[in-house]
Amino acid sequence: MSPLLLRGARLPDEGVRDVLVSTDSGLVARVAPPGLLPSGPDELDLTGYLLLPAPAEPHAHLDKALTWDLAGALPGDLLSAVTAWRAYAARVTEEDVFQRARRAVDELSANGVTAVRTHVDLLRDDGGYGGDPLRGLRALLRLRRQLRGRVRLQIAVLHVDAPDELLHEALDLGADLLGDCPHLSADPAASVERTLRIASEHQVGVDLHADESLDPGAGDLRLLTRAVLERGFVSGVTASHCVSLGVVEPAEVARTAKEVAAAGIGVVTLPLTNLYLQGRDRPSSTPRGLTALRALLDAGVTVAAGGDNIRDPFNPVGRADPLETASLLVTAGHLTPDEALRAVTGGARAVLGLPAAGPYEGAVADLLAVRAQTVSEVLGASCPERLVFAGGRLVSRTSVVREIF
Ligand SMILES: [Zn+2]
């Protein structure tokens, strides 16, 4: 395939540039001032667009997506959402998961996402892991194959106290990582140890739902950090949520953040879901459900942000749009627009273990062009007019007709 020349795009901090991408290598070949690169048969005029690294979604639940109305869920906290989901999940089919997950990925993709890490439940039928607990995983494995070249899908197996044999079976089937939810486990410390042990046996990464509560005494992140440091665990380790770290004393936050950095653990914050689920028992001065973002960044921790739930019992809203997530990091998390954008682009790709992408020579040509001039406009206006490139190939274009009379 011939290279593609993206003409006249504005790059953050660099002004207007022409960008040559190679669809063969999937990389950005050249970046130059306008008019210096030779024209070719394949060109796109991006005048009026800001060209950015494509976002990655580091934490989704595609098996749960788009079930808020189907499940008849009611607003509530985490445990009420878990209860509503489990009641629906008991009758969910492989085809149902596949169709909803595909619709959700299409929304993410059109908004700019070229890589997704999704968790998938080992589905419970009757309060336990009887029946066919792997049907959700099979649906997402099928989707992963179908998405090749457009969206890179990583699948983490999420479970609470599932038997070892079932976890081995899920990883043998092709899951990419092992998840866990220690705060819902009967023995959180044992659960973390077991998850690391089994992941290590399969040489896969780990992504925990850690400390999804406002209890300052919650200890999943500390358990995980110590276990990783003691074991010298080398595969990618991610701690998602880490809400309670946002409500502990600053000195303890700094200490924990330093240990997390030393352990090489990436932290994923999930503002939409945690602002929705947490703090419902505290109607006055309701705490925000975000982790200690500033302290983690100051300590050098890789920080990413994700959307988590898309219109399911854990969150009835959510636009499958990383720019919405980044906007919340500015308003609710007090990051700068540049820091917030980094959390859904470079930070998210780093957590997923992917090489850097963006309009820079030698980087992966996963790109998002948004009709806007500046990063703050991109986040603030959540501009819908976008073009999305994966490996240098145009995979999505959204155009808008607006009439004002
Ligand atoms: Zn989650």
Q: What percent of the chain has pLDDT over 70?
A: 99
Query: CA 336 to CA 380: how far, in whole Å?
Result: 12
Q: How far is the CA of 59 from the centre of ligand 1 (A)?
A: 6
pLDDT tens string 154-195: 999 998 889 999 999 999 999 999 999 998 888 999 999 999
Q: How far is the CA of 46 from the centre of ligand 1 (A)?
A: 36
Q: How far is the CA of 195 from the centre of ligand 1 (A)?
A: 17
Q: What is the pLDDT of residue 194?
A: 95
Q: Are 201 and 194 contacting, i.e. CB atoms less than 8 angstroms apart?
A: no
Q: Which amino acid, residue 6?
A: L
Instruction: Give the residue-averaged pLDDT of 268-285.
Output: 94
Q: What is the mean pLDDT of the chain?
A: 95
What does the angle CA 23 – CA 55 – CA 358 come to, to the nearest 5 degrees? 50
Instruction: Give the residue-averaged pLDDT of 93-107.
Output: 97
Instruction: Give the residue-averaged pLDDT of 353-379.
Output: 98
Q: How far is the CA of 207 from the centre of ligand 1 (A)?
A: 10
Lowest model confidence (mean pLDDT) among 12-16, 336-340, 389-393: 12-16
pLDDT tens string 43-76: 999 999 999 999 999 999 999 999 999 998 889 9
Q: How far is the CA of 17 from the centre of ligand 1 (A)?
A: 38
Q: How far is the CA of 137 from the centre of ligand 1 (A)?
A: 15
What protein residues have CB closer than 5 angstroms to ion ligand 1? 308
Q: How far is the CA of 72 from the centre of ligand 1 (A)?
A: 20
Q: Are 171 and 198 contacting, i.e. CB atoms less than 8 angstroms apart?
A: yes
- Core vs surface per residue 163-200: b (16+ CB within 10 A) or e: eeeebebbbeeebbbbbbbbbbbeebeebbbbbbebbe
C-alpha Rg value of the chain to the nearest Å: 21
Q: What is the pLDDT of residue 21?
A: 97
Q: What is the pLDDT of residue 1?
A: 61
Q: How far is the CA of 34 from the centre of ligand 1 (A)?
A: 43
Q: How far is the CA of 100 from the centre of ligand 1 (A)?
A: 17
Q: What is the pLDDT of residue 127?
A: 67
Residues 6 or more apart whose CB falls under 8 angstroms from that of 248 comprise 216, 256, 292
Report in angstroms the alpha-carbon separations of 174 from 65, 141, 195, 204, 350.
21, 7, 17, 11, 22
Q: Are 71 and 84 contacting, i.e. CB atoms less than 8 angstroms apart?
A: yes
Q: How far is the CA of 308 from the centre of ligand 1 (A)?
A: 5
Query: CA 260 to CA 267: how far, in whole Å?
Result: 9
Report in angstroms the alpha-carbon separations of 221 from 232, 241, 285, 352.
16, 10, 25, 19
Q: How far is the CA of 292 from the centre of ligand 1 (A)?
A: 18
- Of 136, 117, 114, nearest to 125 by C-alpha is 136
Q: What is the pLDDT of residue 126?
A: 65
Q: What is the pLDDT of residue 40?
A: 78
Q: Which residue has the tokens 């975000």?
A: 290
pLDDT tens string 116-161: 999 999 987 766 787 899 999 999 999 999 999 999 999 999 988 8
pLDDT at 345 over 80: yes
Q: How far is the CA of 274 from the centre of ligand 1 (A)?
A: 10
Q: What is the pLDDT of residue 161?
A: 87
Which helix or strand (DSSP H or E) is residue 398 part of?
strand 393-398
Instruction: Give the residue-averaged pLDDT of 224-247.
Output: 91
Q: How far is the CA of 88 from the centre of ligand 1 (A)?
A: 17
